[in-house]
Structure 1
Amino acid sequence: PFGEDGTIQGILEYLAIPYTHSGVLASALAMNKEQAKKIAKSVGIPVAESKVVNRFAIQNKHPMKPPYVVKPVNEGSSFGVVIVHEGQSHPPQVIGSSDWKYGDTVMVERYVHGRELTCAVMGDVALGVCEIIPTGHSFYDYDSKYVAGGSKHECPAKISPNIYQKIQTLALKAHQAIGCRGVSRSDFRYDDRHSENGEIVWLEINTQPGMTPTSLVPEIAAQAGHSFGDLLSWMVEDASCLR
């Protein structure tokens, strides 16, 4: 919030200062998981079934059959994400507790088994697809994203060429449908347990993907032949062209 949800972008627009990445509307849409999924679904991008509810409404009864995921509607970096596993007798108590600090509106989404894949888009070009393998974590949470050694990145992902190309196509379609500019990164789940074609589900789009030493976009860009310096230069020049 504030940095990625259109707020700082609106301030920069008012001050007529060029800035990198997506504009006000695309930033706000992408940060709102419910609205982003509606737009993605409208252009044929596969998404998981979900519903938006008040967190206090799910304290005593499952809002859908487990397994499912509860996540804040407006958050990033996996803050507040809770996985409810099959066989769990009741919803996680933390969601209705006073310790919860991510707002009263949450999204409940069908849990999609499988592999965690991500694809970066640079301008109007989909770069490579990378598989994320959390190390010592049950899913790609905050620590597995930002702590060194928290996850392993398989770049390029070891998947069939047709699945690889399909994910690239979907990432570019999401980038364009939501109105992103500059660099974005779309996250997917790919369930290939029963067949190679399996199920591909788009999870979300990141309009301000990380640029830390453990981040994915610099690594994906490097696989495509763009050094970190080249990537940053392209981002600044792309933003400057919008003046």
Structure 2
Amino acid sequence: MHYIVLEGGISPEHEVSKRSAGAVTRALHELGHTVETLDPKEISTDEILELAQGSDGIFPILHGVGGEDGVLQAAFEEADVPYFGPSALSCHNTFDKVIFKKLLESQGLPTPAWNTVTVETLESEPLAQHPFVLKPIDGGSSIDTFIVRELPFDPAPLLEALNRHGSMLIESLIEGDEITVGVLGDTALPVIEIIPPQNSEFDYENKYNGATRELCPPENISDDIQKRAQALALDVHTATNCRHLSRTDMMINRTGDIFIIDTNTIPGLTDQSLFPKAAAEAGYSWNQLVAYFSKLL
């Protein structure tokens, strides 16, 4: 089979995408496939579609804007090109955090209280009177995400980010344990417990520097909570009409309540990424996982 793997892209997550795409490309080669890698930052969508006509499908291993927002997926669908990953609509509905929050609420799925804020409204926002999280409405890998645990807070870096983004999403900070649950096909993968370095957050740096403990199976999460988390991940996967894969991040508060934070439609696929780690615990080697991916196209 001959596949096209898209890498890099236009988002701030360009380098992470290249690492994920490189890992997928190597596995496809080792599985006996031929692969052409393309970077949408350097080639137009029309050119990608033209090259795709002679392929068996596309792996859009692109994180963030231009990869998980559904724009490229919509072009693939219009051109009837098979591709890996959730549909254009699913990507759009999970990438835009406001749409995603409203969708969760419409399905009765638990998520922290939230609102959108601007430079003008941040400091008067009721949610900013208690510990909170401020993050872009669209984006990933914790870029421009601020976790404010102590009040009063220094507004300067947050206002700087708001000036860049225009408006951002604010949500109540859930104090407790952080977990993530992947879904492969229609099966929830084992839960991963995420423990950042002491006195640190699971931010962009700690996602990729190896300092965060990512425990699969978890050491501090009860079996009951793990089962509930897996069920919630499947609920989100179904509610957003995801296909092939997704990964949902959650927080567990001190009384055992689970809150859905975010869902990724093209989760990281590097050697340090969470989805492959959960798949490995479920019995998939890396090459077996990518072979499974290829059968989904």
8 A contact 2:181–2:247 mirrored in 1: yes
Instruction: Report the Cα distance in structure 2 between the residues aligned to 1:137 and 1:180, rounded to whole angstroms.
Output: 35
1:53-92 aligned at under 5 Å gives the runs 53-58=117-122, 60-64=123-127, 65-86=129-150, 88-90=151-153, 92=155
Q: For 2:215, give the aligned amino acid.
A: E
How many residues align? The count is 231
Cα 1:214–1:174 change in 2 (3 A) is same
Q: Which has the higher contact order (CA 8 A, sep 6+)?
A: 1
Q: State the Cα distance separating 1:91 from its structure 2 match.
A: 5.5
Instruction: Report the Cα distance in structure 2 between the residues aligned to 1:107 and 1:6, rounded to whole angstroms.
Output: 20
1:233 aligns with 2:294: no
Q: State the Cα distance separating 1:38 from its structure 2 match.
A: 1.6
Instruction: Report the Cα distance in structure 1 between the residues aligned to 2:183 and 2:103, rounded to whole angstroms.
Output: 18
Q: State the Cα distance separating 1:17 from its structure 2 match.
A: 1.9
1:25-36 aligned at under 5 Å gives the runs 25-36=89-100
1:126 aligns with 2:188: yes
Q: Which moved more, 1:135-144 or 1:77-86?
A: 135-144
Instruction: Report the Cα distance in structure 2 between the residues aligned to 1:75 and 1:137, rounded to whole angstroms.
Output: 25
**Unmatched runs of 5 consecutive residues or more in structure 2:** 1-64
Larger Rg: 2
8 A contact 1:84–1:91 mirrored in 2: no
Q: For 1:131, give the aligned amino acid.
A: E
Structure 2 partner of 1:219: 277
Q: For 1:93, give the aligned amino acid.
A: A
Q: State the Cα distance separating 1:170 from its structure 2 match.
A: 0.1
CA RMSD of superposed structures (Å): 1.7
Instruction: Report the Cα distance in structure 2 between the residues aligned to 1:237 and 1:137, rounded to whole angstroms.
Output: 43
Q: For 1:113, give the aligned amino acid.
A: E
1:172 aligns with 2:230: no
Q: For 1:213, give the aligned amino acid.
A: D
Structure 2 partner of 1:152: 213
Cα 1:214–1:191 change in 2 (3 A) is same
8 A contact 1:211–1:218 mirrored in 2: yes
Instruction: Report the Cα distance in structure 1 between the residues aligned to 2:258 and 2:291, rounded to whole angstroms.
Output: 33
1:6 aligns with 2:6: no
8 A contact 1:55–1:106 mirrored in 2: no
Q: Which moved more, 1:47-56 or 1:162-171?
A: 47-56
8 A contact 1:118–1:186 mirrored in 2: yes
Point out 4+ residue stretches in structure 1 off by more than 4 angstroms. Answer: 99-102
Q: For 1:153, give the aligned amino acid.
A: E
Structure 1 partner of 2:106: 42
Cα 1:233–1:96 change in 2 (3 A) is same
Q: For 1:146, give the aligned amino acid.
A: Y
8 A contact 1:124–1:172 mirrored in 2: yes
Task: Give SS of 2:121's match.
Answer: helix
Normalized against structure 1, the TM-score is what? 0.89
Instruction: Report the Cα distance in structure 1 between the residues aligned to 2:163 and 2:266, rounded to whole angstroms.
Output: 22
1:104 aligns with 2:166: yes
Instruction: Report the Cα distance in structure 2 between the residues aligned to 1:136 and 1:113, rounded to whole angstroms.
Output: 15
Q: State the Cα distance separating 1:144 from its structure 2 match.
A: 1.4
Q: State the Cα distance separating 1:95 from its structure 2 match.
A: 2.5
Normalized against structure 2, the TM-score is what? 0.73
Instruction: Report the Cα distance in structure 2 between the residues aligned to 1:204 and 1:178, rounded to whole angstroms.
Output: 12
Instruction: Report the Cα distance in structure 2 between the residues aligned to 1:236 and 1:41, rounded to whole angstroms.
Output: 34
8 A contact 2:176–2:253 mirrored in 1: yes
Instruction: Report the Cα distance in structure 1 between the residues aligned to 2:156 and 2:130, rounded to whole angstroms.
Output: 15
